[in-house]
Structure 1
């Protein structure tokens, strides 16, 4: 059983190293499925151009269509549905 407090888990999961590992794994899994002829949907923030480029390249290599969906809400709405810890520090996504 994981005995860490929620803040400790959040700090661990939101490090650049963990984020890199997560996106690399997402793209590797997508590539494996595309290689097997499967369709793939990958749901992620894609907040860095490098990750969007990697996904674009993966789709291109497999001659797959890439469709990006961007969802936006006003900041006050986002804060109203976010956990209290996130309401205090919204992080803009630089597109």
Structure 2
């Protein structure tokens, strides 16, 4: 894979991570405004499952495991920081 292809791959990876975090943030806001119940737990389980699947796909695309772990940790931290400022 050429160096230019890696840049596009990392850009797409970043956009996908931001998009997933925005979806979860939007759901958190929805649950807060509508007084969520225990059924919302099912949707929260979708975040880690989707992250696992994204890691699998990105590993198949040839992204380094170290980069995948860093992206996963940053994604979770970013979600926690955003949620703590806007929701809690």
TM over 0.5: no
Query: Which has the bigger relative contact order, CA under 8 A and spacing at least 6?
Result: 2
Judging by fraction of residues, say which structure has more helix: 2
Greater Rg by CA: 1
What TM-score do the two structures reach when normalised by structure 2?
0.42
